[in-house]
Structure 1
Amino acid sequence: MKYVVTIAGHQVDVDIDGEQVLVNGTPHHAELRPVFGTPVMNLLLDGQSWIIPMEATGRGTWAIQRRGDRFDVEVVDERTRYIRSLVGEGRANLGPAAQNAPMPGLVVKVQVEVGQEVTAGQPVLVLEAMKMENELKAAGPGVVDQILVKPGQAVEKGAVLVTFRPLQTA
């Protein structure tokens, strides 16, 4: 099965045939297994094991954590991609997503302002959870539309923290 995987605006072609995986045409041995009872997946990639916290966020998208950074990942199969191209529902038309709290915590610092342009991977805010500070980063380019939290504010998992609007193109 063929997929297009988008991480922070970067697209990768993935072709899966059993445990053989081609990433942009390069072969890899890969297995992805759930850690039962947790929102964690174990990725075995070319003999290396990676523990990846991930949460389905809808419409073929997942929020994953890696070394304290959050990444929004979209996985689209060939059929869905083709259908979207016919009806004009490409990812670019959706605009940047809101930044949601990946876990309950306390907002420590907001690092953006309303109206500010952001790029993929740019720090947006710091959320403290379980005595660890987690820097949340923009999933893609956009303009900060609303900041819905303040430093010192407690938030629940899934709470919308910051919303974005698409960049204006000339």
Structure 2
Amino acid sequence: MIIETTINKQSRTVEILDSGDKAIIDGKTHPFSFERLDATRYILRLGYQTHIISNITKNDNQLEYTVDGNWHTAAVKDEQMMLLDRMGFKVGGSASEGILKAPMPGKIVDILVKEGETVSEGQPVVILEAMKMENELKSPSEGRVKSISAAPGQSVEKNGVLLEIEPLG
């Protein structure tokens, strides 16, 4: 597993080897383990250092947590998100005034909402297959689905409008 994390404006590439006992961070190999201590705490061993991780909350690709009692925030990207970034695509679609656009060419697998349905910001609304991967596209804003411009099985181009969300009220 490879992830890219940004902590305190410093980006690092981290690969956890399949064996699970080593991590490669920015090209350097370190002994590694991550184990649950109890319902809310974990122990991280990296190199010859041991840390207690707790208070973990996740929101999309943002993690908030404490390390040895000190609060940290990290942006985390998996391999799929890193590939899309390198190709210039934004994961989750492009939002402009409640319009969800295809972030890349692909095929619509499923539309998860119906016209008139109320959605919250970040709610999954469309499944798009691109580059042999299924991508979950999320609502750009809270509101009501005003119109759906795509259908399952349809091919779409980059920036093609998929659906429009109108504000509530």
- Computing the radius of gyration over CA atoms, which structure comes out larger, 1 or 2? 2
Q: Which one has more relative contact order, counting CA pairs under 8 Å at least 6 apart? A: 1
Normalising by structure 1, we get a TM-score of 0.48
